[in-house]
Structure 1
Amino acid sequence: MFIRTESFSQYIRQYPVVSTLIALNVVIYLLSLLPFIGDPIRNFGVGSNYMIAQGEYWRLVTPMFLHAGIMHLLFNMFSLFIFGPELEKVAGKARFLTVYFLAGIFGDIATFFVYDSSYLHVGASGAIFGIFGAFGALVYYTKKMLPQLRQIILPIIVLSVVMTFIGPNINAAAHIAGLVVGFLIGLSIFHPKRIISWRKPKLKVVQKR
């Protein structure tokens, strides 16, 4: 399920939302390395609790597109590359974006309330954890029908949460909030009644002459 076998062009064509998000993160990271414009980009977008308290609310969104280093970027984009396509496929583009952005935003909101005003943060990990949470909701509804999904997703979620609390310089508030928000949205997206409504055949109205 999470083994990517598509060619580059197939991947972009089949998963345009995930592909666009990865491209945006990579391009913004590369721009942030350039002289003269790199510092303004980072200063404008970094998640600063102090500046958010001063009314710069865009900083609840922009940190999702900034990363602290190449390994930070690669880890998050690899996770998005592997796990994002399946969620985009089963949930649809709009629902995927809802999970991704709301998980990331609420992760940044949680960061604002949990940490002090000097706290600075960047990274898409809150949104990535939202993807894990949405899959957790899918597992909740399909644990008997899709045991393979459960065997894959639950260890990943557990391991990710454990690493959140034992790794250095990790924004635990964003991770946990993103996971919870993704799960809650997933409960709505993948509710059996809603799934049935997606699959109902559309009736064609034929006008009689």
Structure 2
Amino acid sequence: MFIRTENFSQYIRLYPVVSVLIALNIFIYIATGLPFTFSRYWYYLGVGQNGLISSGEWWRLFTPMFLHAGLMHLLFNMFSLFVFGPELERVAGKARFLTIYMLSGIFANIAAFFLADADFTHVGASGAIFGIFGAFGALVYYTKKAFPQLRQIILPIIVISVIMTFLQPNINVIGHIVGLIVGFLIGLSYFHPKRIISWR
């Protein structure tokens, strides 16, 4: 289910939305990490900083989803998207998957703005990634009897991810939890129990 066996071309053809998101995040990471003044300028222009959002720079509720603080930060998020994104894109469809991803990330950033202090600064796609986990949680809720294997795999992943959120330093806890909740709520609206789902 979450084991990727496709080659490069098959992966891109079967999961175009996930592929574009991964490529976009990697491209932006490289572009904003180049040793040029304008590269760092574009990075800091997109960072989620609550004080600057309060002053009217509302695009910072969106742009942090595509910025990462370091290589390991990028790799962890993109690996999660690479592994878990395809199955959700296949089940939900391209448009609905993108909706889950984007709204989870945006609402995670909005929550961080309203619930954290004015000095709070954050970047990363984690809120959107947790939205994917939340959507799978909704799928488990509707299909726990039909697909027990999904429940056995995804629930421990969600629990471990939430626990690690509180144990690791410099984590946007608000973004993770709100992203998870938003993904779950959207998933509840998408994955009606009468909908027939064919897993591989």
TM-score range normalised by the length of the shorter chain: over 0.9
Match of 2:147 in 1: 146
- Distance in 2, matches of 1:43 and 1:158, equals 33
- Distance in 2, matches of 1:159 and 1:105, equals 23
Give runs of aligned pairs for residues 14-29 of structure 1, distance below 5 A.
14-29=14-29
Q: Which has the larger radius of gyration?
A: 1
- Distance in 2, matches of 1:155 and 1:146, equals 15
Match of 1:88 in 2: 89
1:183 Cα deviation after fit: 0.2
1:192 Cα deviation after fit: 2.3
Letter in 2 for 1:19: S
- Once the two structures are superposed, residues 98-117 of structure 1 have per-residue CA deviations (whole angstroms, 9 ceiling, x without a partner) of 10000000100111112111
1:36 Cα deviation after fit: 2.5
Identity among equivalent positions (%) equals: 72
Tell me if 1:10 matches 2:35.
no
- Distance in 2, matches of 1:36 and 1:109, equals 29
Match of 1:117 in 2: 118
Letter in 2 for 1:81: F
TM-score under structure 1 length normalisation = 0.92
Match of 2:158 in 1: 157
Question: How many pairs does the alignment contain?
Answer: 197
SS in 1 for 2:37: coil
The answer to whether the Cα contact below 8 Å between 2:162 and 2:177 also exists between their aligned partners in 1 is: yes
- Distance in 2, matches of 1:114 and 1:85, equals 32
- Distance in 1, matches of 2:165 and 2:125, equals 14
- Distance in 1, matches of 2:39 and 2:121, equals 17
The answer to whether the Cα contact below 8 Å between 1:164 and 1:175 also exists between their aligned partners in 2 is: yes
1:154 Cα deviation after fit: 0.1
- Distance in 2, matches of 1:185 and 1:4, equals 25
Give runs of aligned pairs for residues 118-197 of structure 1, distance below 5 A.
118-193=119-194, 195=195
- Once the two structures are superposed, residues 23-82 of structure 1 have per-residue CA deviations (whole angstroms, 9 ceiling, x without a partner) of 000000000111122211111100010111111111111000000000000000000000
Match of 1:204 in 2: none
Match of 2:40 in 1: 39
Q: What value does the CA root-mean-square deviation take over the aligned residues?
A: 1.3
1:15 Cα deviation after fit: 0.2
Letter in 1 for 2:73: H
Letter in 1 for 2:152: Q
Letter in 1 for 2:67: L
TM-score under structure 2 length normalisation = 0.96
- Distance in 2, matches of 1:11 and 1:111, equals 33
Which deviates more, 65-74 or 28-37?
A: 28-37
Runs (4+) off by over 2 Å: none
Letter in 2 for 1:55: G
The answer to whether the Cα contact below 8 Å between 1:31 and 1:37 also exists between their aligned partners in 2 is: no
The answer to whether the Cα contact below 8 Å between 2:140 and 2:150 also exists between their aligned partners in 1 is: yes
